[in-house]
């Protein structure tokens, strides 16, 4: 899959590359980012592996990982991905999303999701976009629901985390028929 960039008013989503290792590591330093995340960047080596695995996944056409760039400072503030890309079934997951805490509860997440959803539905013509989150992560569940995604259910004991906890995963989705209303809602949030 050829790397591509998505640009909005507040953020640009640029393909994750080797030159993002240091800024990804710097953005990932606050420990509160990783409380509920299955993927954790807790060391410089974790940042190296995160970027290298992301690039490898893109080369295998499995995922398309992005560095999230703050438009006002041109600095890396996090990462997000189009994951589990299935053109045969016209489905994709938006996930592996994290931001520096200074960007929590700002327009950053809304615009990232808007750009990713717009690409999934309007460029790739997907039937379904999925989101997954830890059952215990109430902030993430609320943020996904706020987008207009429908909670579908729970995958019980779906993932073993690095600390040994077995995670129940809540699944949400947006269907192509729902995208026009979700798009309008997100554009309202973003003042478009």
Place of tokens 């960039």: 5
Q: What is the pLDDT of residue 58?
A: 95
CA distances in angstroms from 171 to 77, 79, 105, 121, 192, listed in the order given: 25, 20, 22, 19, 29
Give the pLDDT confidence of 131-174 residue by residue, as tens digits.
999 999 999 999 999 999 999 999 999 999 888 899 999 999 99
Asked whether residue 142 is assigned to any structural domain, the reply reads: yes
**Range of the structural domain that residue 87 is part of:** 6-189
Residues 6+ apart with CB under 8 A from 178: 148, 150
Asked whether residue 121 is assigned to any structural domain, the reply reads: yes
Asked whether residue 26 is assigned to any structural domain, the reply reads: yes
Domain count, the chain: 1
Q: 76 forms bridges with which residues in the sheet?
A: 69
**For a pLDDT cut of 90, what percent of the chain falls above it?**
91
Residue 182 in tokens? 């979700």
Confidence of residue 38 (pLDDT cuts 50, 70, 90): confident
Handedness of CA 45, 51, 54, 56 (dihedral sign): negative
Residues 6+ apart with CB under 8 A from 35: none
Cα 88 from Cα 103, distance rounded (Å): 35
- Contact indicator for 157, 134 with CB cutoff of 8 Å: no
Asked whether residue 171 is assigned to any structural domain, the reply reads: yes
Asked whether residue 27 is assigned to any structural domain, the reply reads: yes
Cα 42 from Cα 58, distance rounded (Å): 23
CATH (domain of 159): 3.40.630.30
Asked whether residue 123 is assigned to any structural domain, the reply reads: yes
Give the pLDDT confidence of 8-28 residue by residue, as tens digits.
999 999 999 999 999 999 999
Asked whether residue 46 is assigned to any structural domain, the reply reads: yes
Asked whether residue 1 is assigned to any structural domain, the reply reads: no
């Amino acid at each position: 899959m050829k790397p591509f960039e998505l640009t909005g008013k507040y953020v640009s989503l640029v393909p994750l590359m080797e030159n993002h290792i240091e800024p990804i590591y710097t953005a990932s330093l606050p420990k509160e980012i990783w409380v509920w995340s299955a993927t954790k960047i807790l060391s410089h080596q974790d940042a190296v592996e995160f970027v290298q695995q992301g690039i490898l996944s893109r080369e295998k056409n499995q995922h398309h990982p992005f560095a999230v760039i703050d438009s006002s400072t041109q600095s890396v503030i996090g990462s997000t991905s189009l994951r589990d890309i299935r053109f045969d079934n016209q489905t994709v997951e938006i996930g592996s999303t994290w931001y520096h805490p200074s960007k929590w509860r700002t327009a950053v997440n809304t615009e990232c999701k808007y750009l990713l959803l717009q690409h999934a539905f309007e460029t790739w013509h997907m039937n379904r976009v999925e989101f997954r989150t830890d059952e215990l992560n109430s902030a993430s569940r609320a943020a996904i629901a706020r987008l207009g995604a429908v909670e579908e259910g729970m995958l019980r004991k779906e993932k073993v985390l690095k600390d040994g906890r077995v995670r129940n995963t809540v699944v949400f989705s947006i269907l192509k028929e729902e995208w026009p209303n979700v798009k309008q809602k997100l554009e309202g949030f973003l003042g478009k």
